[in-house]
Amino acid sequence: MNIGSIVKYYRMKHNLTQAELCEGICSISHLSKIESNKYVPHQETLEELFARMNIEWNQEVDVYHAYKEKLEKFITYSVYYDLKSMEALYAELEQNRDYLQSTDLINRYELYKLRYYLFQQDRQRATQQMRILSRLEPTFDEYERGAAKVFYLIYYVSIQDKEKAKEIVGRIEDSQGRVPQLFEGEFYYQNAWLSQRNTEYGKSSYFAELAINQFQKDCNYLRLMHAQMLQAVNYANRDLYLQAEELFKTLLRNARLMEESSLYEGVLYNYSMLQNRRGHHKSAYMLLKELKSLITPEAPIYSSVLIHMLQTSAEEGLEIDHLLEELEVFLRGKDDPYLTIQLTYFRKVKFSQRDLFDYCEQIAFPFLKEHGYIGEARRFAWRLANYHRSIGNYEKADAYAIYFYEKGEKMT
């Protein structure tokens, strides 16, 4: 508790000069040392200084501890994804930020604000907060250094800076920075997510399992479901179909019971991907149909749902005209090369196979490959490999097959 900083905060709030506050109590130089936290005053001196500002010192101690407790509640809300409570408490803390910034609570206050901005997906304010924290870092204690590394990891994952994120993971794993127990589950989760993005599904499974165990231990049930979703996707990508299906079914039930609509929608989408991968296209279509009934065209996943419904319908031999019309309507007024390519591809599905595969080879595959749509590019490569093999063009077939396998799971 930086007593001197609190004295200065109230002096400034009461529009007092140092001379006015310390008259008859202590010298100006003495007060300066107190306010700069170079000297801890006697209890009697402290009480007299606060009494001159009509403040009860004992009550002020209670105020300080109340804010300290509120900060701990604030970060606990974030750990357990109690976002409504976190938002309400953030508003209260912001109203008293001048006080908090005058105390030794400033580091945790500014750290926890970064976590809040990341929840809000406010990239601009999160980036600004990163700059503030870089100036405060030399004053961090061990807990704050560990918490900062986890929050920095989340930040770099959120802005898709994989190299920075991997650097922080490396520093933590090399024991250069311990992770506070409160954030262990989150560290494992972020590491699993990062590994999955790098198509390192085995590594991702390892960290997802650690996250699941930690969230179970912490009774953090919502975050547990998030980690289970990550693990189910890993299982699907590793062709562990039965394990993936079991997890998806559990997640559908629990997300529905807990009324976690966005999670439920995410499970439907990923479960449909698994069913398509298994060749169960009718089941995948029904999952996507239910998902489409729950969302609006404004939903972030709406276009992805349409694309995968088109893929599933084409595989199952279902009518796709109504889906093509919906995609055309959705695309009006938008400049989206990816969706335009998909629309053109599915229009051609109904006609000449030669024309379709020429389009895949000359337009679709190069675009997807160049712009980082690895999953889609692999699917097109697989189709092109099979097509060229069927017409006896084995050299091209091998080239596309090599791309498909090289861009699969990275073994580490």
Q: Which of helix, strand or coil describes residue 315?
A: helix
- pLDDT, residue 411, reads 45
CB 87 within 8 A of CB 119: no
Choose the weakest-confidence range: 58-67, 163-172, 173-182, 400-409: 173-182
- Please, is 283 exposed, middle or buried when counting C-beta atoms within 10 Å of its C-beta (0-12, 13-18, 19+)? middle
- pLDDT, residue 240, reads 95
Q: Which amino acid is at 68?
A: K
Taking the C-alpha atoms of residue 275 and residue 301, their distance in angstroms, rounded to an integer, is 18
Listed as own residue / partner, the contacts of 249-254 with beta carbons closer than 8 Å and 24 or more positions apart are: 251/225, 254/225
Name the architecture of domain 3-55: Orthogonal Bundle (1.10)
CB 195 within 8 A of CB 170: no
Alpha-helical segments (H) within 102-183: 106-119, 123-136, 142-158, 162-173
- Top-confidence range, 24-28, 197-201, 364-368: 364-368
What value does the mean pLDDT take over residues 126-147? 93
141, containing H or E segment? none
CATH 1.10.260.40 residue ranges of the chain are 3-55
For residue 158, what are the contacts with CB-CB under 8 A and spacing of at least 6? 118, 121, 123, 126
Q: At what angle do helices 261-278 and 241-257 cross, to 10 degrees?
A: 160
CB 49 within 8 A of CB 25: yes
Residue 41: pLDDT band (50, 70, 90) is confident
CB 56 within 8 A of CB 50: yes
Between these two residues, 333 and 112, which has the higher pLDDT value? 112
Give the DSSP letter string of 397-409: HHHHHHHHHHTSP
Query: What is the pLDDT of the chain when averaged over all its residues?
Result: 90
Taking the C-alpha atoms of residue 196 and residue 203, their distance in angstroms, rounded to an integer, is 8
Taking the C-alpha atoms of residue 188 and residue 211, their distance in angstroms, rounded to an integer, is 5
- Please, is 98 exposed, middle or buried when counting C-beta atoms within 10 Å of its C-beta (0-12, 13-18, 19+)? exposed
What value does the mean pLDDT take over residues 273-298? 95
- Rounded (10°) CA dihedral 99, 105, 108, 111: 40
Between these two residues, 135 and 177, which has the higher pLDDT value? 135
What value does the mean pLDDT take over residues 79-86? 94
For residue 349, what are the contacts with CB-CB under 8 A and spacing of at least 6? 314, 320, 356
Nearest by Cα to 203 from 212, 193, 213? 193
- pLDDT, residue 1, reads 62
Q: Each residue of 207-220: pLDDT tens digit? A: 999 999 999 999 99
Q: What is the widest separation between alpha-carbon atoms in the chain?
A: 101
What value does the mean pLDDT take over residues 280-300? 95
Measure the N-to-C terminal CA separation of the chain; round to a whole number of Å: 47
Nearest by Cα to 127 from 105, 107, 143, 151? 151
**pLDDT of 30 strictly over 90:** no
Choose the weakest-confidence range: 38-52, 187-201, 311-325: 38-52
- pLDDT, residue 27, reads 85
User: How wide is the angle at C-alpha 256 spanned by C-alphas 255 and 262, nearest 5°?
Assistant: 60
- Please, is 136 exposed, middle or buried when counting C-beta atoms within 10 Å of its C-beta (0-12, 13-18, 19+)? middle
- Top-confidence range, 64-68, 214-218, 383-387, 391-395: 214-218
CB 307 within 8 A of CB 272: no
User: How wide is the angle at C-alpha 343 spanned by C-alphas 341 and 349, nearest 5°?
Assistant: 105
Cα atoms in the Cβ-side hemisphere of radius 13 Å centred on 410: 12
Q: Each residue of 231-274: pLDDT tens digit? A: 999 999 999 999 999 999 999 999 999 999 999 999 999 999 99
Q: In the chain, what percentage of residues exceed pLDDT 90?
A: 68
Tokens 């998902």 belong to residue: 291
Dihedral of CA 86/92/95/99: which sign?
negative
User: How wide is the angle at C-alpha 38 spanned by C-alphas 34 and 41, nearest 5°?
Assistant: 40
Taking the C-alpha atoms of residue 188 and residue 83, their distance in angstroms, rounded to an integer, is 21
